[in-house]
A and B are shown apart, each in its own frame.
Chain A
Amino acid sequence: MSKEAPIDRAAVLHVAKLARLTVSDAEADALTRDMQSILAYVKKLDELDVAKVPATSHAVHLETLLRPDEPRPCMPLEKVIANSPERIGDGFGVPKIIE
C-alpha cells in the first residue's frame, strides 16, 4: 500500500457511490480528511513482511455445520412484511425499475 497516493476528494465521491451513500459537500470534505488520516495510520502494517503469512478470515477453527434438512414453517408473511416502508399487496413496494 506504500505506493498508493493518499485518497482524494474525487476518490471519496467514487467510493461513496459504490457504497450507495449520498454525501453532502461538507461530508465529502470531512470524509476526505478523515480517510486520509486513517489510511495514513494503517500504513504502519507496511512495516511487517507478510509475504509468507497466510490470511485469517476467522480466528476460531470452524467446521461447516449443516443442520438436518427438515422442513420447518417459515415466519408468517404478515410478520415478514410488517416493517416494510411500502407494501403492495403481499409484497414489498419499490420504485419502478423498468420504464
Chain B
Amino acid sequence: MDLANLSAHELADQLKSGKVSSVEATSACLQRLEKTAGLGAYLHVDANGAKKQAAEADARRAKKQSAGPLDGVPIALKDIFLTEGLPTTCASRILEGFVAPYDGTAVRKLKEAGTVLLGKLNMDEFAMGSSNEHSGYLPAKNPWDATRVPGGSSGGSAVAVAAGSCFATLGTDTGGSIRQPAALTGIVGLKPTYGRVSRYGVIAFASSLDQVGPMTKDVTDCANMLQAIAGHDPRDSTSSTEKVPSYTETLEKGVQGLKVGVPKEYFIDGMDPEVRASVDAALESYKKLGATLVDVSLPHTDYGIAVYYLVATAEASSNLARFDGVRYGKRVDPGKGLLDMYLETRGKGFGPEVKRRIMLGTYALSAGYYDAYYVKAQKVRTLVAQDFKEAFAKCDVIVTPTTPTPAFKLGENTGDPIKMYLADVFTVAVNLAGLPGLSLPCGFSKSGLPIGMQVLGRPFDEATILRTARAFEREHDFSARRAIS
C-alpha cells in the first residue's frame, strides 16, 4: 500500500505504532508530488526542509516526546499563508520573490503540533477565483479528470490533498474558497465561524469575510486540524475569545434526535440532477440515522452573490492598496515619479481578475456610488444573516449541496465573470453571515466526478457540524475513495 493514500489519522496510527516513520511518509508525498506534477498543485516545494523536519519528528517520537496526532504528518499550505523563510506569493506576480519574514499564527500552531511543511500551494491570485485558473503562475487541474478545474480559490490545496501529495492542508474561505474546491475534488473542507481561527499572517482579501480552515481527506482529520489552529490570538483583534471545545470527543456521537434543516432555496431548477440526487440520498441517510428533516427557508439566498461581489471587492480594493512597490514585492518604475511608479507597479503586477475586483470595489466605494452600492449591499447582508438566525431557531444544522454542478471544464467559465461567480452561489451566504460550514463528499457522478454536500451550523458550533458530517461518512465510502492510487 502506498503511504500517500492514507488519511492523516491513519498515518498517525502507523507513526505511533512505529510501522512507518515521518521520513518515509514525507518521501511518499514527495514521490506522489513528482508523479502528479502535471496537476499544478504546488508553487514551491521545500523538500530539504521537509525531510529535516520529518527527521526531527521521528527523533521526538524515539524520545517519547511526540506532540500529538499531527506530529510528523506532512502537510502543505495555500500560498496565502506567511511562512517564515519560504516564498509567499499569493499566486501573484506582484509578490514574486517575496520571502515571508514571519509565520502566521495558524502556521505557527501547526509547526508546534509537529507537522512537516512540504511547501506552498497554488491558488487563484489573492484568493480571487473559483477555478484556480486565475493563478498568476499556472492553473491547477482536477485529479479526478485533468481536463477539469479543481475549483478555487484554494484549488492547489484541494488538489494536493485529493492527489495525496500532502496529508492535510489549510485553505482560506472568503466566499466558498475552501468548500467549493473541496466539493469538486472529493475531500473535506471546513470554513469555521468568523473569528474562530486567527487571520494573523494571512494575506488579506476581504477582512470581514476571510476565514482560515482545514482541507483534509476525511472528517476526523478535519477535527484534528481545527483543534490545532482554533482559538483567540492577541495578534488578531477579530479572533474570538469563545472557548474552544474538544472537536474529537463528540465526533462519533451520531445524529440521533438532531434536526437537519433543508432550505428549499438551495434545491433550485437547473441544478445538476446528479448533484440533486446525491444530496437527496444523503438526507434520506440522515433520516435513517435518526435525524429529523425540517423544512427551512433562506429567502434572500438569491441576493448573496450580488452582496458578496460588492462587499468583498470593496474590502479587497482597500486591502490591496498595500501592494504599491515600496516595501515589498515587484516594483515597476518608469522613472517619472511616484504616481507613475504606483500605476505601473500595480498595472503590471496584478492579473486581470484581481484588477477587475479592485476596480469594482473602488467604484462601489467612490463618491456618489457609496450609498447606492456599498451601503445597500451591507444592508442586504443583514437580511441574509437574519435568514440564518430564523432558520437555526428551527434546526441544529442545515444541509445543502455545496455547488450546483460537479467540476466544470478548464476554460469553460473564464470568458464570463458572472458565470464564474455563480459557482459560489451556495457558499457565499455563509461568509456574509459569519457562520461555519463544511463540505464533504456525498457521491460521485456517472462520469466519476465527486459531488459535495454542505453542512452549516450555528456560530461556534463546529462540533455539531463535524459530528453530523462524520455520521454520514461512517455509513459511506465516498471519503475513502482516492483519485490517484
Contact = CB atoms under 8 A, between A and B. Distances in A.
Contact of B378 (A19, A38, A55): A55
A27 B324 contact: no
Interface in A9-39: 11-12, 15-23, 27, 30-31, 34-35, 37-39
Contact of B327 (A34, A57, A75, A84): A84
A60 B379 CA distance: 15
Contacts of B333: 95
Interface string B272-294: 00000000000000000000000
Nearest to A67: B234
Nearest to A48: B380
Contacts of B369: 1, 4
A42 B379 contact: no
Interface residues of A, number: 56
A83 B328 contact: yes
A27 B355 CA distance: 10
A79 to B, nearest CB: 4
Interface string B375-402: 1111111110100000000000000000
Nearest to B368: A4
B363 interface: yes
Interface in B279-311: 300, 302-303, 305-307, 309-310
Interface stretch (B61-69, B254-262, B343-351): B343-351
A15 B101 contact: no
Given A59-B208, A67-B234, A79-B101, A50 B380 contact: yes
Contacts of B363: 7, 11, 15, 35, 39
Name A's interface SS: loop
B372 to A, nearest CB: 4
Contacts of B195: 60, 62
Interface in B329-349: 329-331, 333, 335, 337-339, 341-344, 346-348
A22 B344 contact: yes
Interface in A48-98: 48, 50, 53-60, 62-67, 75, 79-86, 92, 94-97
B237 A60 contact: no
Contacts of B337: 95-97
A19 B338 contact: no
A60 B97 CA distance: 36
A59 B359 contact: no
Nearest to B234: A67
Contact of B385 (A56, A62, A63, A75): A56
B27 interface: no
Given A1-B372, A22-B347, A50-B379, A59 B101 contact: no
A91 to B, nearest CB: 10
Nearest to B333: A95
B222 interface: no
Given A22-B347, A45-B303, A82 B101 contact: yes
A75 B102 contact: yes
Given A21-B347, A45-B376, 9 more contacts: A18-B362, A19-B359, A20-B324, A21-B343, A22-B347, A37-B417, A55-B379, A59-B432, A83-B99
7 contacts: A1-B376, A31-B355, A37-B417, A38-B360, A59-B194, A85-B328, A95-B337
Which 3 A-B pairs rank lowest in CB-CB distance, beginning with the nearest? A22-B347, A59-B434, A85-B331
Interface of A: 1, 4, 7, 11-12, 15-23, 27, 30-31, 34-35, 37-39, 41-42, 44-45, 48, 50, 53-60, 62-67, 75, 79-86, 92, 94-97
Interface of B: 97-99, 101-102, 193-195, 208, 234, 237-238, 240-241, 300, 302-303, 305-307, 309-310, 317, 321, 324-331, 333, 335, 337-339, 341-344, 346-348, 350, 352, 355-356, 358-360, 362-363, 366, 369, 372-373, 375-383, 385, 417-418, 432-435, 459
